[in-house]
Amino acid sequence: MPAFQRIQQLASQREVHAAFQWLHLHEPQLRRWQMELTAIPAPPFAESERAHWLLARFCELGLADTHIDAEGNVLGTLGHSTRPFTLISAHIDTVFPAGTDCTPREDDTRIHAPGICDNAAGLAALLGIAATLQHTGLRPASPVLFAANVGEEGEGDLRGIRHIFNSGNHRIAAALILDGSGMEVVHQALGSRRFRITITGPGGHSWADAGIPNPAFALSHALAAFAATELPADPRTTLNIGSIHSGTSVNSIPMSAEAVIDTRSTAPAELDRLEAILREAVAAGVQATNTLASRAQRSERLTSTIALIGNRPSATLPADSPLLETIRAVDRHLNITTALRLGSTDANIPLALGIPAVSLGCGGSSAGVHTTAEWYSPVGRELALRRILLALLDLTR
């Protein structure tokens, strides 16, 4: 049966109408959940308190096999079958460090707080879908794995979703990743590699120890050379120097200098090329600075390390994928324009493994994401939740 016809039949079922009605009537509950979880800080590698709050909600909603796994992900299942699971997930963590005030503040339709959109909107949608299925008795034909996963942001490097797919505890046929606001569909995974460069030396006094090789000089030499790298427009490729740290005072030769680098591309070969250029630039910077020390008749030398702190694979969901067919059919039924785009999300991992996956916006609107001025408005959320529900039901038919 054509996908659009399947979706029309699905949407006409009485149980699905009841689910849509539940979502409509319980928007205040979604808003409360979203605000409660946002108020619990979840900085990178410290998501435990929020994870336990989510575990309690999973238990209240009657999901089976609810637990927190070895990586810190919150898991629960719905349905019993020997068929593979469909994963529906949203990440727990935020970009904000420990000590950030995450208390939500309401202003008309908007809610203001760090992380209120990314990804409290995704988590609220995850809870909403679970609650809808349980309260209306609507049961997918194949099992669903609900996951609130850790480690999506920054140096978390997708560790939570990696664990889910690498652990082998669940056979997963497809994945719906819930992330942020809006209605966009991320179907192409943007690859990235991130590095921490550390250059070390003996350090000393700027006058008494003049001539000792300076790690900051070597790092500056390397970063200037790397920043001058020519980047192709197609495949689109970018590089960024995110932070630089060195020294303790203006009249001290630092003992170390450090920088973190982000490289991104839709093509793995470009990431390989940038990594090779970066390693050559660091080696050249260290050698040039050590050479200056030799000329100053100093025996001390610098050393360097380059640590890979992030490695997100690139991949694309094929244009003829049944998952994309489902999304397009649902969007046609709901009069949504299917906006496909590239992004770096938890969907990178299943896509790179050849498992159909998309990352879906959870409706509403937002601004200031990844800043302390972040806000979210749930106006329009209901349409996105209908879309997610219909897609999930079609995938689990």
pLDDT in tens, 120-139: 999 999 999 999 999 998 98
Banded pLDDT at 81 (limits 50, 70, 90): confident
Taken in order 126, 129, 131, 137, is the CA torsion positive or negative? negative
- pLDDT, residue 115, reads 98
- pLDDT, residue 243, reads 95
Q: How many CB atoms are closer than 10 A to CB 27?
A: 16
Q: At what angle do helices 27-38 and 14-25 cross, to 10 degrees?
A: 60
3-state secondary structure of 177: strand
Banded pLDDT at 1 (limits 50, 70, 90): confident
Domains of the chain: 3-189+314-395 (3.40.630.10), 191-312 (3.30.70.360)
Question: Residue 235 has which token pair?
Answer: 């495949």
CB-based contacts of 213, cutoff 8 Å, min separation 6: 201, 289, 290, 292, 293, 298, 300, 301, 302
For the segment 279-308, the average pLDDT, to the nearest whole number, is 97
- The answer to whether 232 touches 242, Cβ cutoff 8 Å, is no
- The answer to whether 258 touches 197, Cβ cutoff 8 Å, is yes
Peptide bond just before 235 cis, omega within 30 deg: yes
- pLDDT, residue 341, reads 96
What average pLDDT does the chain have? 97
Quote the percentage of the chain above a pLDDT of 70: 100
Q: How many CB atoms are closer than 10 A to CB 258?
A: 18
Q: What does DSSP assign to residue 155?
A: G
Instruction: Report residue 263: phi and psi, to 5°.
Output: -120, 140
Question: Which residue's entry shows tokens 């050849």?
Answer: 354
- pLDDT, residue 252, reads 97
Q: Most distant CA pair in the chain: distance in Å?
A: 86
CB-based contacts of 160, cutoff 8 Å, min separation 6: 71, 72, 73, 91, 92, 93, 147, 149, 150, 151, 152, 346
- For 315-352, write each residue's pLDDT tens digit: 999 999 999 999 999 999 999 999 999 999 999 999 99
Give CA–CA dist 76/74, Å, rounded.
Answer: 7
For the segment 283-306, the average pLDDT, to the nearest whole number, is 97
- For 346-359, write each residue's pLDDT tens digit: 999 999 999 999 99
- The answer to whether 258 touches 245, Cβ cutoff 8 Å, is yes
Peptide bond just before 119 cis, omega within 30 deg: yes
Per-residue CA distances from 98 to 73, 157, 257, 396 (Å)? 19, 18, 24, 39
- For 27-63, write each residue's pLDDT tens digit: 999 999 999 999 999 999 999 999 999 999 999 999 9
pTM equals 0.92
Question: Which residue's entry shows tokens 């030769």?
Answer: 253
The residue among 215, 275, 201 whose CA lies nearest residue 244 is: 215
